[in-house]
Structure 1
Amino acid sequence: MNWITLNNLEQLKSISDAEGYSVIFKHSTRCPVSMMAKKRFEHDWDAIPEGTSVYFLDLISNREVSNTIAQQFNVYHESPQILLIKNGECIYETSHGEISAEDLAEQIS
């Protein structure tokens, strides 16, 4: 799998309109906890089912997109944070040390 860089609001609209599952990983490049969560997530990447779109948001560089995510999916902003979107709705979100590719995969299965 490869990260899909999320850096504009048009992509967010596409995620909302997509059928099935999409994942958004919100990452702060200034936070060591976020870096650790990202590395752990990438280590277990193979747990995520094939065909799942996994988006990576550098929220420091893309603050407007990050703020829109919080409003659009009705979630409290945190970093790092992972959101599972299904058919335009956030059905699962977690943050910090709770981020796990395996837990995310269980939500998809």
Structure 2
Amino acid sequence: MMEYKELHEVNDWDQAWEGSVKKPILLFKHSTTCPISAGAFQQYKTYLETADQDINCYLVKVIEDRPVSNQIAEVTGVKHESPQLFLIQEKKVLWNTSHSDISVKSIDDAVQSVAP
């Protein structure tokens, strides 16, 4: 089982971004007031419960931690959406998706494409 770490400060994001040089990261941007985001978050958590990859996983709550969410959009160059999921390696967004396209299968397919 993999676990995620919440990113509350821009510095937390900076460290995750830098860490993507050593190990891929999965990053979920979650709106805690949106039912679509709640469903996508459940898919993310289910994936993490069943997967066993060498990957760092993160969560950003976009309302509560807006500066972090904004910084992610700025650094990655990917327009903000929520829910939104990123797979990042070596400071490059290899894959991202949003809304109902976030599923256990889509996450697994993306991770399998980069995992050794």
Which residue of 2 is the match for residue 42 of structure 1?
Answer: 45
Task: For structure 1, list consecutive stretches of 5 or more residues without a partner in the other structure.
Answer: none
Residue identity over aligned pairs, in percent, reads: 31
Aligned to 1:108: 114
- The DSSP-based 3-state class of the residue aligned with 1:91 is strand
What is the match of residue 15 of structure 2?
Answer: 14
Q: Please say which of residues 12-21 and 25-34 is displaced more in the overlay.
A: 12-21
**Counterpart contact for 1:70–1:76, Cα < 8 Å:** yes
Answering whether residue 87 of structure 2 is matched by residue 84 of structure 1, we say yes
Q: 2:55 aligns with which of 28, 46, 52?
A: 52
Deviation sequence 1:25-68 (CA, Å, 0-9, x none): 0000000000001112222322351x311001111101111011
Q: Is the 8 A contact 1:48 1:104 kept in 2?
A: no
Cα RMSD between the aligned structures?
Answer: 1.4
Given the two structures, how large is their TM-score scaled by the length of structure 2?
Answer: 0.85
Q: Structure 2, unaligned stretches of length 5 or more?
A: none
Letter in structure 1 aligned against 2:11: E
Q: 2:70 aligns with which of 67, 71, 85?
A: 67
- Quickly say closer, same or farther: Cα 1:78–1:48, change in 2 above 3 A: farther
Output the TM-score relative to the length of structure 1. 0.90
Moved over 3 A (4+): none
Contact 1:48 1:105 in 2 (8 A): no
Is the partner of 2:93 in helix, strand or coil?
strand
Partner amino acid, structure 2, of 1:7: H
